[in-house]
Amino acid sequence: MALQSINPATGTPLESYEEMSAAEVGAAVDACHEAHLSWRDVDFSERSALMKGAARVLRERVEPYAKLMTEEMGKPIREGRAETEKCAWVCDYYADNAEAFLRSEPVETDATKSFVAYEPIGVVLAVMPWNFPLWQVFRFAAPALMAGNGGLLKHASNVMGCALAIEDVFRAAGFPQHLFRSLLIGGRDVASVIENPKVVAVTLTGSTPAGKAVASKAGEMLKKTVLELGGSDPYVVLADADLEAAVELCVTSRLINGGQSCIAAKRFIVLRDQQERFETLFTEKMRERKMGDPMREDTAVGPQAREDLRDELHEQVRKSIEQGARVLLGAEVPDGPGAFYPPTVLTDVTKGMPAYDEELFGPVAAIIPVDSEDEAIDVANDSVFGLGAAVFTRDVVKGERIATKRLHAGACFVNTFVKSDPRLPFGGVKESGYGRELSSFGIREFVNIKAVYVK
């Protein structure tokens, strides 16, 4: 069976990729495992030099990789360039810091010598989504390879061109040929890869149902998992916030990647006293963002990645309107080819509506009015998700206290939008998953934290 990529801006078929047979997948796993057995003994200086090489390859290929992402999943090309540069950054970050993160740590005991050592565990399978087709992979691959592991990638079926490009980055940088492999398979084949005894752990970024399925199979096989799942990030705008600045940041976050980001702002919680002004400013800024051809430099919002995803999003919007949400902007599927959906603003959103309870993975903003600051915090936390959250206030001390103590999420930002950064841990709570990527915490997820005791 072939895996087909389709340009979501035009509906035009792009490349077709023949799925690997079970024998080919098994051979790839075997080869990756063999490569790891040698790689785990390579010293950090050599690993670092090769990872620096991967960063150079990425920077040399910014334009073709940005174009590839735009063609396969509709990302505005300006954002594709930024994504490729960010991948180079994470490669440099772990090239510079992995050795320090994994250095043995002495511990005082009654032994002559005792310490904690960090050792690679083997071949890690990454099941990755289409929305950030390079970044999601490199934020796993850079720490995993620097830790001495091997990597297998099962990418989303609509971005197999990106999957092969990532494999080629490591090959071009001089890494062992089979240390990182892309598996051209569909979702139904993931379970059999997890069952392979040479695969020791799994990391997944994707939907909550996908995470539950992978975690269930990995749990059956007693294999470690890290899951970064969905999000419905609340942005709490307090009464003393700089409203113009807050709105600009809220709109930027809501429309990043066409709204197709787990940590995009999705629920905007405002006090009723400032609801009307917030709605006016917010709707104006959303209207200014140009939707169109993602290859154009002035396009802010490209198409959704697939037509079926666009249609699911519109159904969530439609049901929310039926249940009482008011439309301030958008909410109509445009005529013509492509999976486009316009920037949309819903207000008077209440519990029970899809716009309140579910993740809206697209350029749709849900404004939720409340009567008090305490109610705003309660509404922010009233979600099955807990990936990111933000609070806007001129009182930075109060904002920090709310972010630290009161908002329930893996990342809480004050007076700016939530974003991933190689220097900070990234991950969620509740149905947004568990485990952490990035920083020192991410590289230690897939190592054996070994106690060594010498008497």
What's the CA gap between 149 and 431, in Å, rounded?
28
Please spell the DSSP secondary structure of 217-286, one letter per residue: HHHHTT-EEEEE----EEEEE-TTS-HHHHHHHHHHHHHGGGG--TTSEEEEEEEGGGHHHHHHHHHHHH
Beta strand 364-370 with 344-347 is parallel
What's the CA gap between 72 and 130, in Å, rounded?
9
Q: Which of 262, 279, 359, 431 is catalytic?
A: 262
Report yes or no: 175 and 54 within 8 Å, Cβ to Cβ: yes
Contacts of 132 (CB under 8 A, 6+ apart): 83, 257, 261
125 has which bridge partners? 152, 202
Q: Is 244 a catalytic residue?
A: no
Report yes or no: 273 and 305 within 8 Å, Cβ to Cβ: no
**Helix or strand run (H / E) with residue 17:** strand 12-18
- 150 in helix, strand or coil? strand
Torsion on CA atoms 165, 166, 168, 172, rounded to nearest 10: 130
What's the CA gap between 125 and 102, in Å, rounded?
21
Q: Is 15 a catalytic residue?
A: no
What's the CA gap between 366 and 402, in Å, rounded?
21
- 21 in helix, strand or coil? coil
Please spell the DSSP secondary structure of 297-338, one letter per residue: TT-SB---S-HHHHHHHHHHHHHHHHTTPEEEE--SPPSSSS
Among the listed residues 289, 296, 294, 315, the one whose alpha carbon sits nearest the alpha carbon of residue 305: 294
* Residue in the structure block whose two tokens are 């200014």: 288
Q: Which of 72, 83, 167, 228 is catalytic?
A: 228
| DSSP 8-state class, residue 324 | T
CA distances from 400 to 235, 298, 409 (A): 14, 36, 14
Q: Indicate which residues carry an active-site annotation.
A: 228, 262
